[in-house]
A and B are shown apart, each in its own frame.
Chain A
């Protein structure tokens, strides 16, 4: 069964950093571009970042560029998101998602909750 499992969320102080991880199984991880999408509890979906299959190209949402670094390790079937200078408005569920051929998201993880609060 194809699966994505996120981890690394939790309570963080404003101004600190956090690294989220996403572990893939059931498919050839290195064959797919990958993304992070976030959702403030009770609100809509917001695309955060993407990385190509070989890590050659990374993209970030304009509002978050400069505070994030997306990376991946295909040998470990893993995707990462390093978040810096965390703000209360970064509080959200963070989902990793697999990109489909038509630039959609055809597999989602269950998400990990990041809470930024003092």
Chain B
């Protein structure tokens, strides 16, 4: 089965740029989505189709995907950005297909 790998944690100071990586075999050939989950809340979509932001998501969130790595970038990180971030893709190479999540990255704003 397809696997997505994320670093367990990232720490950043307010105002700095945070980059969260998600790796998988030929991941750049697939669409990747990113979710933010604050403590005690359900996940929320912040990036879809590699780099698109849903309505209401701040411009400081951006995404890219190439080769074996997708990247979520948070520019000018704020305290409200703390929480867990998950990458996700749809694995259509298997039968039946499956939806796959990365293990998650905890972002700490110092």
- Are B42 and A108 interface neighbours, CB within 8 A? yes
The interface bits of chain B over 72-97 (1 if a CB of A lies within 8 angstroms of the residue's CB, else 0) are: 00000000000010101110000011
> In the assembly, what is the distance between CA of A44 and CA of B49, in Å?
21
**Interface membership of A76, Cβ < 8 A:** no
Chain B residue contacts of A95, Cβ below 8 A: 42-43
**Interface membership of A45, Cβ < 8 A:** yes
Chain A residue contacts of B44, Cβ below 8 A: 108
User: Looking at chain A, what size class is its interface with the partner chain?
Assistant: 20 to 34
> In the assembly, what is the distance between CA of A22 and CA of B89, in Å?
23
Chain A residue contacts of B97, Cβ below 8 A: 59
- Residues of B in contact (CB 8 Å), total 27
Chain A residue contacts of B103, Cβ below 8 A: 44
- Are A47 and B42 interface neighbours, CB within 8 A? no
**Interface membership of B35, Cβ < 8 A:** yes
Smallest Cβ-Cβ distance to A105: which chain B residue? B45
Smallest Cβ-Cβ distance to B101: which chain A residue? A45
> In the assembly, what is the distance between CA of A111 and CA of B40, in Å?
10
**Interface membership of B54, Cβ < 8 A:** yes
- Are B99 and A44 interface neighbours, CB within 8 A? no
Smallest Cβ-Cβ distance to A65: which chain B residue? B96
**Interface membership of B12, Cβ < 8 A:** no
The interface bits of chain B over 52-72 (1 if a CB of A lies within 8 angstroms of the residue's CB, else 0) are: 001000000000000000000
- Are A45 and B43 interface neighbours, CB within 8 A? yes
The 8 Å CB contact of A108, one of B43, B99, B104, is B43
Contact residues, A72-108 vs B (CB, 8 A): 95, 100, 102-106, 108
Q: With A59-B96, A61-B98 as given contacts, are A105 and B42 in contact (CB-CB < 8 Å)?
A: no
- Are A102 and B33 interface neighbours, CB within 8 A? yes
Q: Would you mind naming 29 contact pairs between A and B with Cβ atoms under 8 Å apart?
A: A35-B99, A37-B101, A44-B86, A44-B102, A44-B104, A47-B99, A59-B96, A59-B97, A59-B98, A60-B96, A62-B1, A62-B98, A95-B42, A95-B43, A102-B31, A102-B33, A102-B49, A103-B33, A104-B45, A104-B49, A104-B88, A105-B43, A105-B45, A105-B88, A106-B45, A106-B54, A108-B42, A109-B42, A110-B41
